[in-house]
Chains A and B, each alone.
Chain A
Amino acid sequence: MDIIKRIIKYRQLFIVLVWREFAVRYRYSVIGVMWAGLQPLSMMLLFTFIFTYIMKLHVSSYPSFIFYFAGLIPWTFFSQSLNASIPSLTNHYQLITKIYFPRELLPLSSIAAALVDFFICAAILFVFIVIYNIHLTWNVLWVLPLIVLLVIFTTSVSLFLAGLNVYYRDVRLASNFLIQLWFFMSPVMYSVDSLSTRVKLLLFLNPLTFIIENMRRVLLEGRGIVLWQMAFVCAVTAVFYIVLCRFFIKIERAFADVI
């Protein structure tokens, strides 16, 4: 809650930092903002090629590339947020030692920029849904709380790792590997739908499992969410958020001395 209060107080600076993140990222690039969609789209093509044409897997009743794309969008948001926010504090050494402002603004502006990319990809997915005539039900509305969960969870993990990276640069070095492991632990190229409840519960300790799985479910399959599962994952995410953000605020005071 402290963090939300501080962002509101510093919202003008936050807006400018997000804008700056964008302006700097695409300034000297030729295709600019098209980069946002390019990565998940090319991964989607790769998965479809490998799993549908080489391994001949049948993952969904609708075109399988949409299955993969719908999983890749939240995943890309998560991995991009982590990749951008982990070095965000150490890269802005000169800001942290010369200016006072709430330090979380730096990782959060990286996340906000990734969120814009997320919505660009979501628009592309919507075009696919319309073209392939996928039937939408009211269950689609579940996507909104799922996005909120995704953002809260991503924020907690990013703040924690970005803060830790100030002390131990190992975090940056380990992050590529960690993100790769996390990718296979999340249902991007598979679905946990048919697994037993016990295995599901274990996998749901990674909130991304639930979030990615259910985004696909409510959006493409028109099914609802299992409420007790939602409650379980909300509780897990809340614990993550409270513990990790408190940790960040605790170590934040010393950043200028340590960095």
Chain B
Amino acid sequence: MSSDYVLKLDNVWKKYSKTEFFHKSVREEITGLFSRKKDGALTKDEFWALKAINLEFKRGDVIGLYGSNGAGKTTILKIISSITYPTTGSVTVNTSVAPLIEVGAGFHPDLTGRENIYVNGTIIGMEIKEIRAKMPDIIAFSELSDFIDMPVKKYSSGMYLRLGFAVAVNSSAGIMLFDEIMSVSDGAFQQKCINKIKELKQDSRTIVMVSHNLSLLQQTADKIYLIKDSTAVPMQAGDI
């Protein structure tokens, strides 16, 4: 096999604007219908959120992205899931990518846990029938059976996360993305998440996790990258 990677980021750069309003861009889109614009240069208010990112992931890899807040970890997940697009460089994906980068994203506070399982399940590409069939498993995994018919606005952040994780692991996507999944859950559920991730790895899924908790990443990830100053550096076993 010539290309055994499932995901490749090739010299990816991402530019963001610091100013709150981005008025210029809509005009640029319109004028850009006719001309190619140059993406390389920075204007006064812009900065590089990602610089020359080169990553290559294989099937069954569990990758940790570690770094401080604002280093660009989440931006990498957004680019992988095509929530946003790189300014220059290319992303090649040879499998399906879970569209959701944060567990529990898309929950509606007024809907009950059960109803939100339907919303979140279809977001990750499950069929409605499939969700109905897997409902008991999802509820059991979340350990929330007593509260499943309660609006999620009454949930604690830990409960919220449990439910989100319980749905997210049902995704059939080849690449799964987790942003800070384990930061607010208790020890027992954390262990359950770690086991589940190992299970998914055996199923040869590729998992990309973001955290600023290094010891959690070390328990699960095969490879950890340090994201610092908008660049990605592989971390050696001895680091930190």
Given the interface pairs A15-B128, A16-B122, A168-B23, the reply to whether A23 lies near B101 with Cβ below 8 Å is: no
Q: Which of B4-12, B104-112, B190-198, B225-233 contacts A (4 or more CB under 8 A)?
A: B104-112
Tell me how many residues of B have a C-beta within 8 Å of chain A: 31
Q: A residues 147-188 with Cβ under 8 Å of B? A: 164, 167-168
B29 part of interface (Cβ distance < 8 Å): yes
In the bound complex, CA of A13 to CA of B100 (Å): 13
Does A3 interact with chain B (Cβ within 8 Å)? no
CB of B115 within 8 A of CB of A256, answer: no
Q: Say which residue of A23, A24, A27, A253 sits within 8 Å of B85 (CB atoms).
A: A253
Shortest CB-to-CB span from B131 to chain A, Å, is: 9
* Smallest CB separation, A144 vs chain B (Å): 29
Known contacts A23-B111, A24-B108, A99-B101; is A13 also within 8 Å of B29 by CB?
no
Contacts of B82 in A (CB 8 A): 100
Verify B111–A16 contact, CB threshold 8 A.
Answer: no
CA of A96 to CA of B16, assembled, Å: 17
A8 within 8 Å of B by Cβ? no
Contact A100 B128 (CB under 8 A): no
Interface size class of A (residues with CB under 8 A): 20 to 34
The distance in angstroms between the C-alpha atoms of A95 and B126, with both chains bound, is 17
Annotate B3-29 by CB proximity to A: 1 below 8 A, 0 otherwise. 000000000000010000011011001
Residue A251 at the chain B interface, CB threshold 8 Å = yes
A246 → chain B closest CB, angstroms:
9
Q: Which residues of the partner chain B approach A168 to less than 8 Å between Cβ atoms?
A: 23, 26
* A-side contacts of B122, CB under 8 Å: 12-13, 15-16
Determine if B84 and A99 form an interchain contact, defined as CB atoms under 8 angstroms apart: no
B-contacting residues of A (Cβ < 8 Å)? 12-13, 15-17, 20, 23-24, 27-28, 94-101, 164, 167-168, 250-251, 253-254, 256-258
Given A97-B78, A167-B23, 4 extra CB contacts under 8 A:
A15-B122, A16-B118, A94-B105, A98-B100
